[in-house]
Amino acid sequence: MTFYDRLIRETARERDAFLAIPLVRQALASGAPKSLYVAFLTQAYHHVKNTFPLLALAASRTGDARYQDALVDYMEEERGHEKWILDDIRIMGGDADAVRDGVREGMAGPACRIMVGFSYYAIEHVSPYALLGSVHVLEGMSVLLADRLADTLKRSFGAQAEAGFSYLRSHGSLDQDHVAFFRTLVDGFDDPAAQQIIIDHARLFYRLYGDIFRELGAGLELSHAA
């Protein structure tokens, strides 16, 4: 069994728990209101804008030249993706300027802030390899869900064009290459301690990323009850 296969096996319970989140299941099955899609994009912006700085931080903290080279490659790919999200928010009628500035309805929610804050903490105080736990979760879920979610949302909005779905579409296809790259990278780690750090943090990030969707879903339930 390769390490990547082991990672998939040992995080299966957390992955299933993520996929069972009511909002995730509902959005994939029947879509969502535009306002909720904009709320999702808002939270995506606030964690995606930290991708490049987190990769750079991990690269500066590791002494593993192979890992550092991989992080530099990731940085080149990931730079500026948050701008695509702002474009989608504008197309969907959201306030992209408020999101960019983090004010009013454009603020990052508590779950997003906790996930991002923990990402920096884990790299600084646990290990630069901890970042790979979040990469596994975020890119793996993009490959699995992004295109399906875009298709379902388009139907629920009655949209004819792809405008407003550039972030989802790009990450559904782009992240397939990233996951293949990730698999090759992690299969090259022989150190049991590094492997365990990646597994432990993937488990954590399924929970932390899932909390963003739980928070968005709770807000939707409250708005329906109002």
pLDDT in tens, 107-150: 999 999 999 999 999 999 999 999 999 999 998 998 889 888 99
Q: How many CB atoms lie within 10 A of CB 96?
A: 22
**Residue 17's pLDDT is what?**
97
Is 122 exposed, middle or buried, given 0-12, 13-18 or 19+ CB atoms closer than 10 A?
buried
State the greatest distance between any 2 C-alpha atoms of the chain, in Å, as a whole number. Answer: 55
**Residue 186's pLDDT is what?**
95
Segment 170-175 shows an average pLDDT of 68
Helices H / strands E in the chain, number of each: 12, 0
Q: Is the pLDDT of residue 34 over 70?
A: yes
Q: Which residue has the tokens 């002494």?
A: 63
Phi-psi domain of 80 (left: phi exceeds 0; alpha: psi -120 through 50; beta: other): left
Q: Which residue has the tokens 């869900």?
A: 145
Report CA dihedral (98, 165, 153, 219) to the nearest 10 degrees: -20
Segment 182-202 shows an average pLDDT of 96
